[in-house]
Structure formats: structure tokens, C-alpha cells
Amino acid sequence: MFNMTEKFLEEKKGIYTAREIYQQPGVWKKIYENYKENRERFQRFIERILANHQRVRVIFTGAGTSAFIGDILTPVLQREQQRNFDYVAIPTTDLVAQPDSYFLKNVPTILVSFGRSGNSPESVAAMELASKNVINLYQVVITCNKKGKMVEAIANDPNGFLFLLPDETHDKGFAMTSSFSGMALASYLLFTEKKSEVEKVGHLSDEGAILLEKLCPVIDEILTFEFDRIVYLGSASLGQLSHEAALKMLELTAGKVVAVHESSMGFRHGPKSILRDKTLVVLFVSQNEYTKKYDFDILREIKGDSPEVKTVVLSSGENEEFAKISDWFIKTGSTKGDFDQDLYYGLLYVLFAQVLALKKSLQLGITPDNPSPDGRVNRVVQGVVIYPWDK
């Protein structure tokens, strides 16, 4: 895998992370099969809600990487406007810390909770607080662990829906990889009504497998540039994806690489100050022709202002304009316009971010499966105290 033997990865304690990155295209197909088995049941669940309420608020929630799923989904689903839903993404860490600022008692709400282990204290607490603060509450749990506390919490809820991902998405490595892409894909399949995109999962999986095979030579070349800072940029949902990409680098390098994220347009409003000679900038380009203009503008500005900075561009299809001024250009998809929106391209782009973080971690002599052996950070968050809510 990734030009490394399994023996090497086992010795360096990176075998779980490598396998969980590499397995994703196959896992996506399994999730699609799970979706097909559950879509009629979910449809009935949704139709029952819409029969009782004219408009419904949908809160996507989770902690850390799980929270970013909602950030990425919200602009995609809001743009589709297929149902009488108002989508928002609110981390469990905000919901738990100040529930009366986020839960609207008289607004019918579907709380969609994401969790790899399903055992994070904030996730379970957010579900409990929602039931105390919203009169007409419905809950959807999307998780990778059939034995998690979130599954127990929803088991007997007549207004609940559980979607379990394949067992292999319950990552054994520290960083969320297949769990992240799997839960993002599953939630999109459940809530979108764009059947043309739903039916493209097989193609997405095939393109993911092809991309993983061709990434290593490029990433190995990128790693000859000894960057100690990395900036991920993108627009709309891809700007939100950049948050997850940056976190993967920060986690797997145990903070030795400073990793930040920003929107393509927002970067020039102060955050551009981070640029210096050992900085790598990665740009996730939108397939939307209008949005793409803003992505190109920031790339051109960076190359003009900071020629010492190295840039990587990931794009849907060939693009001579981007390729000409970037240091590395990576094309995803077989032809331009394979998918109708950026979410599927984002799932391909994140494969690059995961592999780059894995290989940078190994280059720095860190153990990717447990980059924080001192216990400073943990696979399942520790040390959280949940205080009683008595209002």
C-alpha cells in the first residue's frame, strides 16, 4: 500500500491507518448497498415527519471530524432545496455547552448525530439535551459502531432512525478516515433526492481506487519539499472539507506541522499572513465554473506574492490554467463533469489529504496509528465532564 510493505507499516505502527485509507472505495460500495436496503424505511420515516410539519429544521452534529460532516453537507443540501428542510450544522460541543442558544423548543427538528465510536460523551449528551429542549424532536443516528452508546440511546425511540455503517468503518487507527468519508456519503444518500447522483456511487468508488493508485508518486515528490506548514483552501463545501484535511495533518504529525484551513476568498483577509518559505498550500478546486474563478484568483495571488510557497491543486478534470501556475496538479475523475456537485469530488480530494498526512507522519518518525502515545489526545475523547441541565 502506498509504495510501502505491510511489514514496514506494522513496524512503524501505521498499518491500521494505511488500511483504513486504502479500503475506502470498496467501503463506499458497501454503504451504497446498505442504503438501498434502508431507503424505503428512511423514506417512510421522513414522509411521516413531513406529514405532520410544514417545515423542519435538520441539525447535523458531531464532535471534531464528525462535526465537519455537517459543515460539508449543509451547503450541498441547501442548494438542492428538494424538501421543506432547513439544514444547519452545529457541533455537539456547542450544543452541550449552551443548549438554549441552539435548540429551538417550538421548531420541529431532526437531530442527525454522527459518531465513529458512538461513545463520545458530548454526542450522547447532545441527544439527551435535544429531547429536553425540543417539543417535536426526531433523531437520526449515523454511526460505525453497533455497540456504541448512541445506538443504545436511540434503540427504543419511536421517533428515531439508525443507520449503521459496515464494521470496517469503525477505524482502529487514531484518525478518522473511512469513518469520515463513509458517514458523509451515507448521510448524503439518505437526504438527497438527486437520484442521478445517488446512482453514481459505483463510479465514485472506481475513481477513488484509481486515484489511490496514482497518488503515491506525486505525494512522494511533494514530500521532498520539507514543509512545516500547510494550508488547505476551497470554496463552499470544499472550504469546509479543508477543515478536515488540515486536521488530518495536525493529528497525524502530532502538531509538528502547523495546519490551517480557510475559504479561497477568506484567505486573503488576514490568514494569508501564515505564508513563508516552508509552506505548502493545497487548493481544492470547485467543479462549479463560477466558483472556480475565485479559486483561481487566490492561487494566482499566492504565486505572485509568495513565489517561495509551493502549491498543490486538485481539480475535477484537466485545467491548463491551474496546472500552469501550480507546482503539482492532480486531476480527479475520468472526464470533466463526472459529478453534478462538489461533495463527491470532495470525497476524492480527501483521499489525497489522508495519504499525505500518513506519509508525512512516517517521514517525521511518528506512529500514525497512535500519534500521541503520551495520551494528550485520544481516539475517543477523554476527560469530558457533562454537567446536569436543569432549566
Please identify which residue in the block is written with the cell numbers 476524492: 348
Place of cell 502547523: 258
**Residue 167 and residue 26 share a domain:** yes
Of residues 344 and 194, more confidently modeled: 344
The answer to whether 145 touches 117, Cβ cutoff 8 Å, is: yes
Give the model confidence (pLDDT) of 139-171 as tens digits.
999 999 999 999 999 998 999 999 999 999 999
CB-count exposure of residue 31 (10 Å: 0-12, 13-18, 19+):
buried
Residue 131 and residue 217 in one domain: no
State whether 194 and 205 are in the same domain: no
Looking at the chain, the whole-number percentage of residues with pLDDT higher than 90 is 86
pLDDT at 335: 62
Looking at residue 381, its pLDDT comes to: 66
* pLDDT, position 318: 81
Q: Is residue 382 part of a domain?
A: no
Q: Confirm if 233 and 246 have CB atoms less than 8 A apart.
A: no
Residues 206 and 142 in one domain: no
The residue-averaged pLDDT of 120-136 equals 94
Is 215 domain-assigned? yes
User: Rounded to the nearest 5°, which phi and psi values hold at 61?
Assistant: -145, 155
What is the band of 80 on the pLDDT scale with cuts at 50, 70, 90?
confident
CB–CB of 264/314 below 8 Å? no
Indicate the pLDDT class of residue 74, thresholds 50, 70 and 90. very high
CA distance 262 to 272: 9
Is 123 contained in some domain? yes
3-state secondary structure 86-152: EEEECCHHHHHHCHHHHCCCCCCEEEEEEECCCCCHHHHHHHHHHHHHCCCEEEEEEECCCCCHHHH
Give the pLDDT of residue 179.
Answer: 97
Cell reading at 207: 475513481
On the question of pLDDT at 367 being above 90, the answer is yes
276: CB partners within 8 A, 6+ apart: 229, 306, 308, 309
Terminal CA-CA length for the chain: 53
User: What is the average per-residue pLDDT within 6-17?
Assistant: 95
Per-residue confidence (pLDDT) for residue 386, from 0 to 100: 82
In this prediction, residue 341 carries a pLDDT of 82
Do 142 and 209 fall within a single domain?
A: no
Residues 303 and 189 in one domain: no
Kindly state whether residues 340 and 255 are assigned to the same domain.
yes
Contacts for 284 with CB less than 8 Å, ≥ 6 apart: 232, 233, 234, 238, 239, 241, 242, 245, 314, 345, 346, 349
Same domain, 215 and 83: no
What is this structure's pTM?
0.95
How many independent structural domains does the chain possess?
Answer: 2
Please state, in angstroms and rounded to a whole number, the distance separating the CA atoms of residues 111 and 89: 10
Domain stops at, among 135, 164, 198 = 198
- Of 232, 215, 206, residue with least CA distance to 330: 215
Q: Which of 46, 41, 343, 23 is nearest to 163 (CA)?
A: 41
Give the whole-angstrom CA distance, residue 222 versus residue 330: 12
Residue 366 has pLDDT above 80, yes or no: yes
Residue 293 within a domain: yes
Residue 219 and residue 106 share a domain: no
| Residue 315 pLDDT > 70 | yes
Residue 40 is assigned to a structural domain of this protein: yes
Average pLDDT, the chain: 93
For residues 289 and 303, membership in a common domain is answered with yes
The C-alpha atoms of residue 165 and residue 186 are separated, in whole angstroms, by: 8
At 375 the pLDDT is 63
Whether residue 16 lies inside any domain: the answer is yes
Element (H, E) at 237: helix 237-252
Beta bridge partners of 109: 57, 137
Q: Which domain holds residue 287?
A: 201-363
Judged against a pLDDT cut of 90, whether residue 8 lies above it is answered with yes
Q: Are the C-beta atoms of 341 and 333 separated by less than 8 Å?
A: no
94-98, 107-111, 113-117, 340-344, range with the lowest pLDDT: 340-344
| Whole-angstrom distance, CA of residue 302 vs CA of residue 320 | 18
Give the mean pLDDT of 263-271: 95
Q: Which CATH number characterizes residue 118's domain? A: 3.40.50.10490
Q: Percent of the chain at pLDDT above 70?
A: 96
Cα separations in angstroms, 35 against 11, 38, 283: 37, 5, 31
DSSP secondary structure letters along 46-87: HHHHHHH-S-EEEEEE-STHHHHHHHHHHHHHHHH--SSEEE
- pLDDT-derived band at 286 (thresholds 50, 70, 90) equals very high
Compute φ and ψ for 330, nearest 5 degrees: -120, 120
Domain boundary among 175, 198, 221: 198
Find out whether 21 and 30 touch, Cβ atoms under 8 Å. Answer: no
Helix/strand/coil (H/E/C) assignment for every residue in 174-202: CCCCHHHHHHHHHHHHHHCCCHHHHCCHH
Tell me if 1 is assigned to some domain: no
Residues 207 and 277 reside in one and the same domain: yes
> Of the candidates 204, 147, 240, 172, which has an alpha carbon nearest to the alpha carbon of residue 24?
204
Does residue 287 form part of some domain?
yes
For residues 44-49, average pLDDT: 96
215 lies in the same domain as 77: no
Lowest mean pLDDT among 9-18, 77-86, 289-298: 77-86
Domain-ending residue, one of 198, 215, 242: 198
